[in-house]
Structure 1
Amino acid sequence: MEKCSDFSPVIMGAATGYAPQKVELFLNSISRTNFSGVVVLFLNDDQLDDYKEYFGGRYSNQFELRFVITQIGVFSSSKSLNKYLQKAIRFFSKYIVLKEPKLKKDFIYYFAPPHVSRFFDYYNFLKLNNFTHIILTDTRDVIVQGDLNKLNQQGLFLGMEDKSLLLGKDSFHVKWIGDVYGKKYLSEISNKQISCAGVTFGDYQSIRHYLDIMINEFMKLPYYTMVRSNYDQGIHNKLLYSNEFSGVKLCQPLGSEIATLGVMNINNVVLNEDCLILNADGSIPTFVHQYDRHKGLEQSLKDKYL
């Protein structure tokens, strides 16, 4: 598994609710690299024809693009149900789960926000397919650049946010962690750096373990908590700082393979003559996440990849 000749990678991401154009920049960026593995996009059934027509065999000479049908997001995007009715159904479904606990996993998968449900799709896909290395990634606001063969490493690689914003100072994480684990626990990790769940990669065993831990935590938590909001990143951070994950490598923005730029000072972001984002030491991060938080940078990347 450690030899480059045995390197068999897969990139997986959910594209539910996105028009094909929303993930075009992501896919085009992969086509500019040396990646020759498999890219899997999880789609709802009503998206499939549009994606097939739009992308066709565009990338067939570079990598294999697979579309996998999923149910994530179908409930929340249903045009026949307004948001108040959706909320009521989520609330009352907890009584069904109380009577039939064996339905909990299926109900979380179907009724939870896509950020949560995608973990089940990742897990189920990996059970049925053999890959040595796995990349779990957002698709709308990520580009891939650089040498993907560098990902032929052991361990669990987690993207980190800029240290200027800590867990206890970010309103989203205050809510996510406070709602799920309480204010006392939040105060215990309030000075910790935020880990972003948007891009995660590693060898097969490390990613399978990560998904096991995440899904087991989903199942331990109250059902209604899991379907009420997109708490996945709060849970991801709780498990990180509880030392539940194994072989963790923290990927600092502009200092690793994952450049998470959301709260980064744009003056610290450097592009070379080929419009590639550079790390502080001049190396090229493999993944750039949240570039769209900086409109000038977003336009430069659109000019390059679209």
Structure 2
Amino acid sequence: MKNLKSSIILGAATGYSPDKVEIFLESLSCSRYTGKVVLFINYNQYKDYCEYYSKKDYEFELEFSLSKIGILSSTKKISKNLKKIIKILSGIIVSLEPRLKKDFIYFLGLPHVSRFFDYYEYLLLKSNDQDIMLTDTRDVVVQKNPFESNLDGLYLGMEDSRILIGHDDFHIKWISDVYGKKYLQSIGAKKICCAGVTLGDHTSVMSYLEEMITEFMSLPYYKMVRSNYDQGIHNKLLYSGNFKNINCCDPLKSIISTVGLVPRNEIILNENNQVLDVDGSVSTIIHQYDRHRDIEKIFIEKYLN
């Protein structure tokens, strides 16, 4: 039997109170995951997170990594108009000093975008013989250890194929704002790929992060700090062939099940309140379960009580 590589899970929790990620962590514990979990949080969250999880006895190693993303977008002491002015002024500075672009995107952009810088910088210092999961933390449940076998390539979570890019208002806005309506039309008939959960071996994940960050840096600065365009960019790079050795994971048929757009009557739970794949086996990763309120209630009862 081939030896399993070490594994690490990275998730952004900036702006979330500790209880908002508890279901995610409890589900990992129930799945018997024994690797490492790193949550990126802001400095003002650190004490609360340490206190909240100090009495937990997880088999996995839990680390809190301090991040400075989302400071501007999350603070309530600055009005929306002032935040807009700050971003406009920062754009002028970047036009005069382009070398500051990356730092300003990191500090002033939304966490959806800035988290990619945190992930990349963290992994640069780690072993290249690892399997990695990049994940949302508020709406993800892990029912089976996602690293039961070594990963090969990049695993991307696809959404239900009955709703395509050109049929979804969010993707219409994200992609047309960044790349224009003509490009949107060229991929409008493609399936939506969700940027919330991504897995792979170290080489594949680092290549993915490099592609995302390179694209961030190539786009106009103000667009990168204006909105959460990460998923629009993620889909553009996928359908432009920038991601290599990919495994597209359809919901309830693969390691990643992004179920937000899946009709509720097609999501089957067993007697242990586990979501099942279409073949009757227990699904591994469930994302966007909170789009179905009864499933959210079931998971709250299952993991928190």
Deviates more, 1:277-286 or 1:229-238: 277-286
For 2:143, the equivalent position in structure 1 comes to: 145
Q: Runs of 4+ in structure 1 displaced over 3 angstroms?
A: none
Q: Which amino acid aligns with 1:41?
A: L
2:86 equivalent to 1:83: no
Contact 1:151 1:202 in 2 (8 A): no
TM-score normalized with structure 2 length: 0.97
Deviations 1:125-161 (A, max 9, x none): 0011225110000000000111333352210000000
For 1:111, the equivalent position in structure 2 comes to: 108
For 1:21, the equivalent position in structure 2 comes to: 19
Q: Say if 1:292 and 1:4 are closer, same or farther in 2 by CA, change over 3 A.
A: farther
Residue 65 of structure 1 aligns to a residue in which SS? strand
From 228, 231, 234, the equivalent of 2:229 is 231
Residues 91-106 of structure 1 aligned to structure 2 (within 5 Å):
91-106=88-103
Deviation at 1:7, TM superposition (A): 1.5
For 1:284, the equivalent position in structure 2 comes to: 282
Aligned residues: 303
2:270 equivalent to 1:272: yes
For 1:36, the equivalent position in structure 2 comes to: 34
Contact 1:168 1:186 in 2 (8 A): yes
Give percent identity, aligned residues only. 54
Q: Which amino acid aligns with 1:75?
A: L
Residues 91-240 of structure 1 aligned to structure 2 (within 5 Å):
91-130=88-127, 132-240=130-238
Deviations 1:74-122 (A, max 9, x none): 1111232111110111122111000000000000000110000000000
State the distance in 2 between where 1:261 and 1:139 align: 15
Deviates more, 1:78-87 or 1:110-119: 78-87
State the distance in 2 between where 1:4 and 1:124 align: 30
Deviates more, 1:237-246 or 1:75-84: 75-84
Contact 1:4 1:149 in 2 (8 A): no
Contact 2:131 2:147 in 1 (8 A): no
From 296, 300, 303, the equivalent of 2:301 is 303
Q: Which amino acid aligns with 1:195?
A: C
Contact 1:116 1:231 in 2 (8 A): yes
Q: Which amino acid aligns with 1:22?
A: K
Residue 199 of structure 1 aligns to a residue in which SS? strand
State the distance in 2 between where 1:59 and 1:72 align: 29
Q: Say if 1:6 and 1:263 are closer, same or farther in 2 by CA, change over 3 A.
A: closer
CA-based RMSD: 1.1
Contact 1:253 1:259 in 2 (8 A): yes
TM-score normalized with structure 1 length: 0.97
Deviates more, 1:296-305 or 1:124-133: 124-133
Deviates more, 1:79-88 or 1:173-182: 79-88
Deviation at 1:57, TM superposition (A): 4.5
Deviations 1:14-51 (A, max 9, x none): 00111111000000000001211000000000000000
